[in-house]
Amino acid sequence: MKLTDVTAADRAAVDLSRVDLFDAAYHAEGDPHAAWAVMREQAPLHRSELPDGRAFFNVTRYHDACRVLGSHREFTSERGSLLSQLGHDDAASGRMLVATDPPRHSELRRPLNKMFTGRGLARSEDRIRDAVRSLVAGALDGPVWDLAQQATMLPMAIAGALMDLPEPDWKDLVQWTGMAAAPQDPVFTIRNPHATLAIAHHQLFEYFATQYEARKGTDGDDAFRLLMTMRDGELTREEVVVNCYSLLLGANATTPHTVAGTVLALMERPDQLRAVRENPALIPSLVEEGLRWTSPASSFLRYAVDDVEIAGGLVPRGEAVAVWVGSANRDADVFPEPYRFDVRRSDNRHIAFGYGAHYCLGATVARLTLRLFFEEVLDRIEEFVLAGEPQHLVSNFVAGFTSLPVRAVPRRVEAVAGR
Ligand code: HEM
């Protein structure tokens, strides 16, 4: 996937009848940004049909994306939100946050909101900073360092602490969530994508079920126990397990790709790094631009509750609609010069965290993590230099990297001392 400009030649090379956005490999090797640009211009409601007869609509414009994600009365999440599961209703429907519509969704979400925002999170800031420091320190340890691989431990350390998961288990959990998010990527595939997903689900569900039993009758103010002791609409063990799975997948599958993709954007644009170094007050806006630019949660699915007119066409009742977040975040109607990575971008209303009731529960955690990461990088590292070919993740769900080899040039001692 190319994250830079989409030229007139790139657009001209797109033949929408041959574009296969369902194909995970297309997102790593093809040029989805060029296809999305053409869809936004020429086919804002584009229908894709798979060889086995399954079909879905693609929505690529910003305002249409917000409407599909935000309007549960028109487009339900209850049949699942992953394109890879197209046509197979989610087994956790009505029980897992992301596969539940309001009002049940609001009951499930309300108690968690407090823990993932405001004061609930302020208590975790030191832990997040420690995780960020040990990641950045690793960059300075050796000549070449794989940022994409190393960054996978960052959200795990944070979610691990928020959910009180034992540290020795984190490596396995990162592996299993990687397999669950991108079973088609050769880095994760065991035998075949189907088997990979089944193994990942089995391991994760069994893991959380065991953790559930171990926590019975114990005290703590972590997210896991919060789910176990919810007062309104008490959850069964299975419901706690699927929501722990969803929380960890949400954290692990996304944040590392924004870290890697934003660093890559800065390596390609030294002037942007310079601007932030000269004015660190730009770090929050670098984070927002990094989120817009990378849009790691790439697609979400909804199903039409009734016949719905949208984007100049009609989605018949019961049909699936894929929202392409990375496309919405490069819609020129909302983002002037959308293919310019601009740390000073104002009014950056990206939807990297989604829109509406399902707006990312971990958005505050993710923003804090990214802010602390770039603060630490600016403090310790002069620049990153690309030391190998980036490898893109093979996935139609997550846009990101499996490898980003870099060399970290340490900050000069006098620069650090003179701060
Ligand atoms: C850069 C980082 C992240 C991005 C880009 C991201 C993106 C998203 C998006 C787009 C959604 C909406 C899904 C939908 O509409 O169906 C979502 C939901 C969710 N995210 Fe994140 N996420 C990130 C980090 C996290 C973290 C750190 C956590 C947990 C600590 C998390 C947990 C969740 C959960 C539980 C949901 C479901 C919320 C609901 O259905 O109400 N995410 N995320």
> Quick one: which atom of ligand 1 is closest to the CA of 355?
15
Q: What is the number of domains present in the chain?
A: 1
C-alpha of residue 367 to centroid of ligand 1, in Å:
12
pLDDT at 118 over 80: no
Predicted local confidence at residue 110, as pLDDT: 87
Distance (Å, whole) CA 341 – CA 129: 26
> Quick one: which atom of ligand 1 is closest to the CA of 258?
1
Q: Is residue 237 part of a domain?
A: yes
Which residue CA neighbors atom 37 of ligand 1 most closely? 98
Is the pLDDT higher at 124 or at 318? 318
Q: Per-residue pLDDT averaged across 192-204, rounded?
A: 96
Is the pLDDT higher at 412 or at 404? 404
Q: pLDDT band for 127, please (50, 70, 90 cuts).
A: confident
Q: Which are the contacts of 217, defined by CB distance < 8 A and separation ≥ 6?
A: none
Q: Is residue 242 part of a domain?
A: yes
- Please name the amino acid found at residue 364: T
Q: Is residue 385 part of a domain?
A: yes
- Please name the amino acid found at residue 363: A
pLDDT single digits (tens) 262-316: 999 999 999 999 999 999 999 999 999 999 999 999 999 999 999 999 999 999 9
Q: pLDDT band for 412, please (50, 70, 90 cuts).
A: confident
pLDDT single digits (tens) 348-386: 999 999 999 999 999 999 999 999 999 999 999 999 999
Predicted local confidence at residue 418, as pLDDT: 53
Predicted local confidence at residue 235, as pLDDT: 87
Going by C-alpha positions, the residue among 234, 224, 252, 99 that lies closest to residue 164 is 224
Each as own residue / partner, the long-range contacts of residues 94-100 (CB below 8 Å, 24 or more positions apart, any chain) are 95/238, 95/239, 95/242, 95/243, 96/239, 96/242, 96/243, 96/245, 96/246, 97/243, 97/246, 97/358, 97/361, 98/246, 98/250, 98/358
C-beta 326 within 6 A of ligand 1: no
Half-sphere exposure of residue 318, counting CA atoms within 13 Å on the CB side?
Answer: 3
Q: Per-residue pLDDT averaged across 180-187, rounded?
A: 96
C-alpha of residue 107 to centroid of ligand 1, in Å:
17
Domain range for residue 89?
A: 8-417
Q: Is residue 217 part of a domain?
A: yes
280 to 88, 276, 284: CA distances (angstroms) = 47, 5, 9
Q: Per-residue pLDDT averaged across 328-334, rounded?
A: 98
Predicted local confidence at residue 122, as pLDDT: 77
3-state secondary structure of 243: helix
Predicted local confidence at residue 116, as pLDDT: 86
Q: Is residue 3 part of a domain?
A: no
Q: pLDDT band for 65, please (50, 70, 90 cuts).
A: very high
Q: Is residue 80 part of a domain?
A: yes
Distance (Å, whole) CA 256 – CA 260: 6
Is the pLDDT higher at 89 or at 334? 334
Q: pLDDT band for 143, please (50, 70, 90 cuts).
A: confident
Q: Per-residue pLDDT averaged across 342-348, rounded?
A: 97
Q: Is residue 353 part of a domain?
A: yes
CATH code: domain of residue 213: 1.10.630.10
C-beta 360 within 6 A of ligand 1: yes
Which residue CA neighbors atom 11 of ligand 1 most closely? 360
Predicted local confidence at residue 419, as pLDDT: 53
> Quick one: which atom of ligand 1 is closest to the CA of 357?
41
pLDDT at 66 over 80: yes
Q: Is residue 2 part of a domain?
A: no
Q: pLDDT band for 58, please (50, 70, 90 cuts).
A: very high
3-state secondary structure of 56: strand
Max CA pair span of the chain: 65
C-beta 224 within 6 A of ligand 1: no
Which residue CA neighbors atom 15 of ligand 1 most closely? 358
Instruction: Give the single-character DSSP code of 269.
Output: -
Distance (Å, whole) CA 255 – CA 258: 5
Question: Which residues are registered as beta bridge partners of 302?
Answer: 321
CA angle 379, 382, 384 (to 5 degrees): 115
> Quick one: which atom of ligand 1 is closest to the CA of 300?
16
